[in-house]
Structures are given as structure tokens and as C-alpha cells.
């Protein structure tokens, strides 16, 4: 079947519906949903029962980049800074040095066992050098897997921040494959340019986005999530235009925003959680359609050899060498090594050689596809088992909730109190979002001139308002009162 304007919505919606229904029951059999999405795309493709003709790497790459924007941004929003801060150094080392070591180790092996040139081997190693953000976020969260020793924030920070490094290495070695006259030293400035500009742009756009979100006056609440989508794409595109790494920029931007007081933050979180799942499904379906299983089979032998070397040797070696100067238990290092999931991101990166038209592009693409499938199948299905075997899993009764869990579930508070706003209070004529209100309490209602107002982040507090506040404990109200009254007294002093 050829995709046309008339049937693309029908076919797309049917594939989406089937993916959701199949994914609902997949974990009863221990199969990651992302792998099933990929399989459904393959079955619907030209080699499958669907017979859909799709062989356009450029469109697949575009869909992949757009999808990764949403997935990375959603992951960044859900990254709690207080959890990440203790493991920040470890995460950064894993996402930079760890990725480089994986690429070099695997590339050397590929060069030894194939007829690839050194640069072609390093290109393949670079493409699969990063852990996949979609696979890690999806599997950890859908399995509700809680881990000891700050393992989960370490793994999510690594997977959310290591794609930029793999992207730079992929572009660098692809350049060397195309331009044989260039030296390895020539790619070093590209690396620093991408990383430095990406980091600066991410923080800059994060601060700018917070200012815009909290100060723009939109007539409809539903436009705020749309505004955030626009800011996300502006961050990615503008960073890319100036030569920075757009993936790094949007992740840093999202982490910053996720840890700030924003208007309609709950709505934004909910929307991105749903959109991240939608983009994961669309991404894996698209890549499944792009793959021709008949072309993958000839490379299964070499693909399995490379995949097993990556899982058993390259990933553990890179993790242990990267973390050699950190005090960390061996079981924690082993588990980090095991959660080296490869998923859609390497397949998206593998479209770059296809579009560049290098000689071994098709072979690289099919090997990378096989590596991704075997990684999700072998490692993705055993995360819980290995966590229990290494004794790094938390018992069911003590599993902590993520930040997005807390926002969506709207946990009930145990104590309440009414607070009258006096004319000399700091909060007078201030918006709730500007009060730096403690996360352990929130304002549920405001009584003003005999009427009740349901507050939002943009609601301004007025003198003589009666605030109905819920909190976790009575002690939290000391901090609440500080936010409402003391700043003004300190300024006067």
C-alpha cells in the first residue's frame, strides 16, 4: 500500500490504536512496549502483512528529531534537581567520557572483525554509543522500578544528557568518512563548539522561557502548553543555527523549567507526559516502517556479535573506567553497566549515513537496527530481574513517587489552615507563582469580599484575602507564613 493524503490518517490512527492496545498487555509477558511498537511498524511495512511502502530516510529523520525533542523535554521536566544534584558529576562523566569510551571500544572491535575502515568503524561505534532516552525513561517508568543508591536519577540523567555527545561523534566521524583528507584533530573544535554553545543556550532559553510563561497574559489556559511547545522548538532550532547542540539545549532548558514555579505547571506536565508517549509510539512505528526485515537478516550474525560485545564488554568497560575515581559499590556499577539500553536514537542517527550516501550506509543502518532490537529485548526485559539479583531494587512498599506523579496524583495534605493577608504583607499584589511557595503546601481557595476564588499561578493576592492552605504538617506553616509576610519586613529593616 502506498501512503496518500487520503489514507495516511486512517492508517496512522489504526497503527496508533493497535500499538496502544498491544502495549497495554505487553508487560504481562515481559516484553517492552517500545519493542512491540517497532514490531507493529515492521509488520505494517512493505515486507510485512500491511504492505505499506515507506523508504524515505529524510522523513524518518525529521520525525525522529521532532520526537526526540518531545521525549528529551518531557524527561527534563520530570528531572528533580534535588535528586540529580548529588549524582550530577557522575552523570556528566558517564554522558561524555562514558559515551566516548563506548564509541572507541566498540569501534575498535568492529574494525577488527569487519572490513570497515577505521573511520567507518568509529562511525558505527558512535551511532550506538549513547543509552537511549526513550527506552530508559519508558522502561524504568512503565515498570515502576524503584532503585537504591540514587541509581534512578543517575540513569535518567545519563540517558537524558548523553545523546548530544553521541550526536557530535556521529557527525564528526561521518565527516571524516566523507572527507578522507581531514584529520582526527579537526573534529575537536566541533565538539567544544557544540557542547559549550548548547549548554549556554539551554540555560539562557530556560530563564527566558520562565519569564515569558509567567509574564505573558493569555486569554485561554489551554494556550500555555502550546506556548511551551513553541519555546521548546525555538530553543532547539536557534541553538542549532548558531552551531550549538540543540538536544543538549532543550534538555537543560527543560530541567531548569521543571524545577521552577510556573503558571499552569500541572497542565504542562500532564500534556508533555502524554505527548512523550505519543512521540515514542510514532517514532518506533516510523522506524519500523523504514526497516526492511529481508535486508536485516543477512547481517544478523555480525550484528549479534557486535551487540553482545557492546552489552558484555564495551558498555561495562566504559562505565567502570568513567567511574574509577568515584566511591561506588560494585553492584551499583554493574547495574549502571546493564542499563545501557539502545533504542530508537541510534536508528535515527543511523539515517545520517544513509542521507550522506556513503558506501556502507545500508549495512551500518541494518546492523544498528539489529543492535537496538537485541539491546531492548535482552536488557529491557531483565532490568527488574538484574536489579533484584544485585540487590539494588527498593521494596514495593517504599517506592518513591516522581515529581510528575506528585503533580498528577494531587496528594492530599494532612493539615489545613486559614491565613488572613494583612495590608503590610509581602504577598499583597504579588502573584502566587512569584511567592516561592513551599512544595509541601498549596493554596486551595481564596475568600475575597465574601466570594470564593479558585487560585492559579497567575492569581494576585490582595490585602484582606483569606487563604485556605493545605500542608503536609503543622510545621510547614512557618515557611508558608515566611513567604507571605516576612520578605517585606526584611526589606524594611
CB count within 10 Å of CB 229 equals 16
| Distance in angstroms (rounded) separating the CA atoms of residues 486 and 465 | 17
| Distance in angstroms (rounded) separating the CA atoms of residues 76 and 88 | 14
Q: Is residue 448 included in any domain, yes or no?
A: yes
Same domain, 228 and 101: yes
Largest CA distance in the chain: 81
Same domain, 370 and 473: no
To the nearest whole percent, how much of the chain has pLDDT over 70?
87
Same domain, 327 and 474: no
Q: Give the pLDDT band (50/70/90) at residue 402.
A: low
Task: Inform me whether the pLDDT recorded for 1 exceeds 80.
Answer: no
The count of structural domains within the chain is: 2
Task: Inform me whether the pLDDT recorded for 245 exceeds 60.
Answer: yes
Are 221 and 455 in contact by the 8 Å Cβ rule? The answer is: no
Closest alpha carbon to 420 in 492, 485, 479: 485
Highest mean pLDDT among 230-244, 334-348, 387-401: 230-244
Same domain, 56 and 98: yes
302-311, 353-362, 370-379, 439-448, range with the lowest pLDDT: 439-448
Q: Which long-range contacts (CB under 8 A, 24 or more apart) does 173-179 make?
A: 173/119, 173/122, 173/123, 173/126, 174/123, 174/352, 174/353, 174/356, 174/358, 176/119, 176/122, 176/123, 177/117, 177/119, 177/120, 177/123, 177/353, 177/356, 177/358, 178/356, 178/358
Torsion of CA 175, 180, 181, 182, to 10 degrees: 30
Q: Is residue 236 included in any domain, yes or no?
A: yes
pTM of the model: 0.77
**End-of-domain residue from the set 376, 403, 430:** 403
Task: Inform me whether the pLDDT recorded for 409 exceeds 50.
Answer: no
Same domain, 145 and 229: yes
Instruction: Return the pLDDT at 146.
Output: 65
**End-of-domain residue from the set 355, 382, 403:** 403
Same domain, 482 and 367: no
Same domain, 310 and 442: no
Same domain, 15 and 117: yes
Q: Is residue 101 included in any domain, yes or no?
A: yes
Give the residue numbers spanning the domain of 482. Answer: 412-492
Bigger pLDDT: 426 vs 55: 426
First-to-last C-alpha distance (Å) of the chain: 76
CA distances from 40 to 33, 262, 298, 326, 414 (A): 11, 38, 21, 42, 47
Task: Inform me whether the pLDDT recorded for 218 exceeds 60.
Answer: yes
What is the spatial order of strands in the sheet that 466-471 belongs to? 415-420, 466-471, 441-448, 451-453
Q: Give the pLDDT band (50/70/90) at residue 31.
A: low
Residues 6+ apart with CB under 8 A from 243: 193, 194, 197
Element (H, E) at 306: helix 300-309
What's 470's domain CATH number? 3.30.70.1450
What's 37's domain CATH number? 1.20.1530.20
Q: Is residue 1 included in any domain, yes or no?
A: no
Same domain, 396 and 433: no
207-216, 365-374, 461-470, range with the lowest pLDDT: 461-470
30-39, 254-263, 323-332, 446-455, range with the lowest pLDDT: 30-39
Instruction: Return the pLDDT at 118.
Output: 92
Digit-coded pLDDT (tens) for 464-489: 888 888 877 777 788 888 888 865 44
Are 194 and 175 in contact by the 8 Å Cβ rule? The answer is: no
Same domain, 326 and 352: yes
Q: Is residue 140 included in any domain, yes or no?
A: yes
Here the cell at position 378 is 535482552
- Exposed / middle / buried, residue 451 (Cβ in 10 Å: 0-12, 13-18, 19+): exposed
Q: Is residue 3 included in any domain, yes or no?
A: no
Instruction: Return the pLDDT at 414.
Output: 57
**End-of-domain residue from the set 360, 376, 403:** 403
Can you name the residues that pair with 448 across neighbouring β-strands?
451
Same domain, 143 and 54: yes
Q: Is residue 435 included in any domain, yes or no?
A: yes
Q: Is residue 2 included in any domain, yes or no?
A: no
Bigger pLDDT: 6 vs 368: 368
Mean per-residue pLDDT of the chain: 82
Instruction: Return the pLDDT at 447.
Output: 86
N residues, the chain: 493
Same domain, 357 and 382: yes
| Distance in angstroms (rounded) separating the CA atoms of residues 162 and 91 | 9
Task: Inform me whether the pLDDT recorded for 26 exceeds 70.
Answer: no
Amino acid at each position: 500500500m502506498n501512503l496518500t493524503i487520503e489514507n495516511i490518517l486512517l492508517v496512522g490512527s489504526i497503527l496508533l490504536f493497535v500499538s496502544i492496545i498491544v502495549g497495554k498487555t505487553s508487560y504481562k509477558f515481559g516484553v517492552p512496549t517500545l519493542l512491540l511498537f517497532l514490531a507493529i511498524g515492521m509488520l505494517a511495512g512493505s515486507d510485512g502483512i500491511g504492505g505499506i511502502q515507506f523508504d524515505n530516510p529524510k522523513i524518518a529523520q525529521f520525525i525522529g528529531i521532532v520526537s526526540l525533542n518531545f521525549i528529551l523535554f518531557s524527561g527534563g521536566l520530570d528531572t528533580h534537581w534535588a535528586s540529580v544534584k548529588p549524582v550530577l558529576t557522575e552523570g556528566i562523566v558517564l554522558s561524555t567520557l562514558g559515551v566516548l569510551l563506548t564509541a572507541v571500544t566498540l569501534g575498535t572491535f568492529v574494525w577488527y572483525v569487519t572490513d570497515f575502515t577505521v573511520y567507518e568503524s568509529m562511525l558505527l561505534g558512535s551511532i550506538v554509543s549513547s543509552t537511549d532516552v526513550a527506552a530508559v525513561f519508558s522502561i524504568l517508568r512503565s515498570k515502576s522500578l524503584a532503585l537504591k543508591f540514587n541509581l534512578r536519577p543517575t540513569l535518567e540523567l545519563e540517558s537524558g544528557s548523553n545523546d548530544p555527545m553521541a550526536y557530535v561523534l556521529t557527525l564528526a566521524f561521518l565527516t571524516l568518512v566523507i572527507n578522507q583528507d581531514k584529520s582526527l584533530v579537526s573534529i575537536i573544535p566541533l565538539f567544544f563548539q557544540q557542547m559549550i554553545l548548547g549548554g549556554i543556550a539551554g540555560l539562557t532559553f530556560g530563564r527566558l522561557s520562565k519569564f515569558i510563561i509567567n509574564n505573558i497574559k493569555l486569554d485561554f489556559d489551554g494556550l500555555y502548553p502550546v506556548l511551551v511547545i513553541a519555546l521548546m522548538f525555538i530553543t532547539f532550532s536557534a541553538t542549532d543555527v548558531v552551531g550549538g547542540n540543540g538536544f543538549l539545549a532543550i534538555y537543560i532548558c527543560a530541567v531548569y523549567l521543571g524545577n521552577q514555579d510556573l503558571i499552569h505547571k500541572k497542565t504542562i506536565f500532564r500534556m508533555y507526559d502524554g505527548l512523550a508517549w505519543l512521540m515514542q509510539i510514532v517514532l518506533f512505528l516510523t522506524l519500523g516502517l523504514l526497516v526492511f526485515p529481508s535486508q536485516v537478516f543477512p547481517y544478523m550474525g555480525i550484528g549479534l556479535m557486535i551487540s553482545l560485545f557492546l552489552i558484555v564488554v564495551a558498555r561495562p568497560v566504559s562505565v567502570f573506567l568513567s567511574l574509577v575515581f568515584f566511591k561506588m559499590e560494585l553492584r551499583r556499577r554493574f547495574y549502571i553497566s546493564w542499563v545501557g539500553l539502545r533504542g530508537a536514537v541510534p536508528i535515527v542517527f543511523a539515517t545520517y549515513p544513509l542521507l550522506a550516501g556513503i558506501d556502507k550506509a545500508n549495512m551500518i543502518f541494518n546492523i544498528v537496527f539489529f543492535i537496538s532490537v537485541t539491546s531492548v529485548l535482552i536488557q529491557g526485559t531483565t532490568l527488574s530481574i538484574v536489579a533484584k539479583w544485585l540487590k539494588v531494587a527498593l521494596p514495593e512498599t517504599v517506592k518513591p513517587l516522581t515529581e510528575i506523579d506528585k503533580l498528577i496524583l494531587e496528594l492530599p495534605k494532612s493539615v489545613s489552615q486559614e491565613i488572613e493577608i494583612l495590608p503590610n504583607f509581602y504577598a499583597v499584589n504579588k502573584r502566587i507563582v512569584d511567592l516561592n511557595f513551599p512544595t509541601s503546601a498549596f493554596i486551595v481557595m481564596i475568600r475575597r469580599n465574601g466570594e470564593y476564588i479558585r487560585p492559579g499561578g497567575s492569581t494576585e493576592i490582595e490585602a484582606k484575602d483569606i487563604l485556605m492552605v493545605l500542608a503536609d504538617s503543622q510545621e510547614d506553616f512557618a515557611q508558608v507564613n515566611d513567604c507571605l509576610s516576612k520578605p517585606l519586613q526584611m526589606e524594611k529593616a
